[in-house]
Amino acid sequence: MGLFDLFKKKPAPEAEPPEPAAVPPEQTEKRAGRWKKALNRTRAFFTAAFATDPEGLVDEEFYDEVLDALVLADVGMELGTALTARIKDRMREEGFVKKADVPRVLRAIVAELLGNVRAPEPLDPAQLSVIMLVGVNGSGKTTLAAKLAHRLKGEGQSVLLAAADTFRAAATDQLKVWAGRVGVDIVAGQEGADPASVVFDAAQAAEARAVEVLIVDTAGRLQTKKNLMDELAKVVRTVDKACPGANIAHVLVLDATVGQNAVSQAELFNEACNLSGLAITKLDGTAKGGALLAVVDRLKVPVLYTGVGETPEDLLDFDASEFAAGLLPD
Instruction: Give 98's DSSP letter.
Output: B
CB of 137 to ligand GTP, least distance (A): 4
Question: Residue 179 and residue 156: Cα distance in Å, rounded?
Answer: 16
Among 5, 89, 271, 310, binds ligand GTP (CB under 6 A): 310
CB of 149 to Mg ion, least distance (A): 14
Q: Looking at beta carbons, which residue is closest to Mg ion? A: 142
Asked if 223 interacts with ligand GTP (CB under 6 A), we say no
Question: Residue 182 and residue 319: Cα distance in Å, rounded?
Answer: 25
Q: Under rule CB under 6 A, which residues in 131-160 are in contact with ligand GTP?
A: 135, 137-143
Q: How many residues does the chain have?
A: 330
Among 195, 277, 302, 309, binds ligand GTP (CB under 6 A): 309
Question: Residue 111 and residue 305: Cα distance in Å, rounded?
Answer: 16
CB of 135 to ligand GTP, least distance (A): 6
Q: Which is nearer to ligand GTP, 102 or 295 (CB)?
A: 295
Question: Residue 219 and residue 279: Cα distance in Å, rounded?
Answer: 16
Q: Which is nearer to ligand GTP, 84 or 174 (CB)?
A: 174
How many residues contact ligand GTP, by CB under 6 A? Answer: 20
Q: Which is nearer to ligand GTP, 297 or 314 (CB)?
A: 314
Question: Residue 121 and residue 295: Cα distance in Å, rounded?
Answer: 20
Strands 185-188 and 277-281: unpaired
83 half-sphere exposure, CB direction, 13 A CA radius: 32
- Helix (H) / strand (E) element for 133: namely strand 129-134
User: CB under 5 to 8 A by kind: which of ligand GTP, Mg ion, none does 64 bind?
Assistant: none
Contacts to ligand GTP by CB under 6 A? 135, 137-143, 165, 171, 220, 281-282, 284-285, 307-310, 314
